[in-house]
Chains A and B, each alone.
Chain A
Amino acid sequence: MRGIEFFRNVSIGQYWPGTSYVHRLTPATKYLWLLVLMVSGIASSSYAGALVPLAVALAVGASAKVRPGFLLRGVKPLVPFVAFTAVLQAVFPWPGDSSARLLSLGPLAFTAGKARLVLMMFARTLSLMTLIGLFTSVTSESESVHGIEDLLAPFGRLGTSAARSAHRLALAVGIALRFVPIIVGELESIAKAQASRGADFGSGRGGPIAKARAYLPLFVPVTVRALERAELLAEAMEARGYTGEGRTRLASYPKQRGEGLARWASLAVIAASFILDYVFRSR
């Protein structure tokens, strides 16, 4: 039964409370920056381009008074993974890899092309991890749910059905986040109930088919009860007159000074990062 109480200690991301300019930006602006930097980090093919999100995230983090150590704390456990990936790359040859051999051991070879791949992957991952770390540290959970709705708001101008879809998507995300603890509790209690009847979870014995059969009495009740909860929730929402339209909310995010500037600046950043990437790639 080890691991059943596991979830109680897990927290997704950590909010670093503050009142800085970055914290006070509207959630939609934060999402915009997140997306822009993500795209530039992924699309780039030079080291410099891949590291742009890291540099921007550290700079923005500094202005928001989030310690760089807090943003980079996920990096240390990365090192063994990168080493492992490098070993994997060395073991499995890429077809048509004609770059210079840096290290060779019998039929195994670690080539310059592979080294570049591993380094690029590390740079890109480092950038994206720091970026998402920054986003979660300056955006609270409710802000990130409302932000989805605000971010999709421009589509609302395309027509009322688009506005409805945007609102519904945000609502589904909100419901999902609120139901996770309930479903985890249900998984725990049903797993314990089945274990008390002699079910065997977690041990490596038995073939895959036996495993799947043992899993059925856990998965099916949990899923069916989840669906029942959804029915009840829908009924309760409809009973209170919810139709998916014209809903207002308690929290509002007034634009602060410089909000528009911050939004336009994100476009400048993506343009700059592509230019930088182009310059470094052609060298």
Chain B
Amino acid sequence: MAEKSDVRRIAVTGVLSALSIALFLTPFGYIPTPLGVSLTVVHVPAIIGAVLEGPVVGIVIGGIFGATALVKAAIAPQGPIDLVFVNPLISVLPRLLIGLAAWVVYSAFRGKWTGVAAAMAGIAGSLTNSVFVLGALLIFRVIAPAVAGAIFVTNGLLEAALAAVLTFGVVAVWKGIESRTGKAKLAEEK
């Protein structure tokens, strides 16, 4: 495959950010469960960006997603918790850390087997999102510690598992494509 260029990094950042925003604004980013809580995957593009293209790409995708969350919370809030996301310390800052954590874990495990490393990165990125968003909500005294704990158990852990599966799936497919054909599939469609 072609050498990784900066232009390519910019394009991947932009397009994965668009995916994150699209998941965030449509029902596709949320998976309803029988428990009544929705699991979210909107942060997974930041993890995938970090795994495929490095920490800066992951951080920027997280930042763009966080900024969208902030604007949406201000313009069209849909729940009581949405309200406090107009605070960038809750909506943007924790999201910057997703890509960083995912990349650190991915590069730590990369030598062994790429698939395992990607799944671990998914877990790390997702847990970073849960812990820091809930942590920020606690610091600003939006929710009580008991509520934060309950959300972490019902959402945080399941979302981490989900992020692991999805990151593994995408990275496995993408790495496979890269080694087999050496170029993007759409290029052949004309």
Contacts and interface: CB of A to CB of B under 8 A. Distances in A.
Interface of A: 3-4, 6-7, 10, 12-13, 38, 42, 74, 77-78, 81-82, 84-85, 88-89, 92-95, 117, 121, 124-125, 128-129, 131-133, 136, 168-169, 171-180, 182-184, 187, 191, 201-208, 211-213, 215-216, 218-220, 222-235, 237-238, 242-244
Contacts of A174: 14
Given A204-B36, A208-B158, A216-B165, 13 more contacts: A42-B88, A42-B89, A81-B80, A125-B84, A172-B14, A175-B14, A176-B18, A204-B32, A207-B33, A211-B33, A220-B173, A223-B16, A226-B15
Contacts of A77: 77
A16 B65 CA distance: 25
A232 B186 contact: yes
Contacts of B87: 42, 124, 128
A85 B82 CA distance: 11
A42 B142 CA distance: 14
B21 to A, nearest CB: 5
B71 A92 contact: no
B185 to A, nearest CB: 6
B26 A187 contact: yes
Counting chain B residues whose Cβ lies within 8 A of the other chain, the interface size class is 35 or more
Nearest to B87: A42
B15 A179 contact: yes
B28 A172 contact: no
8 tightest A-B contacts by CB?
A: A175-B14, A179-B18, A92-B144, A176-B17, A234-B8, A132-B74, A128-B86, A81-B80
Interface string B146-185: 1100000000001001100110011001100100000111
B10 to A, nearest CB: 5
Given A129-B74, A136-B71, A180-B22, A218 B28 contact: yes
A133 B76 CA distance: 10
A75 to B, nearest CB: 10
B60 A172 contact: yes
Nearest to A89: B144
B14 A173 contact: yes
A220 B177 CA distance: 13
Given A132-B71, A207-B34, A237-B7, A231 B184 contact: yes
A205 B44 CA distance: 23
B93 to A, nearest CB: 11
A182 B18 contact: yes
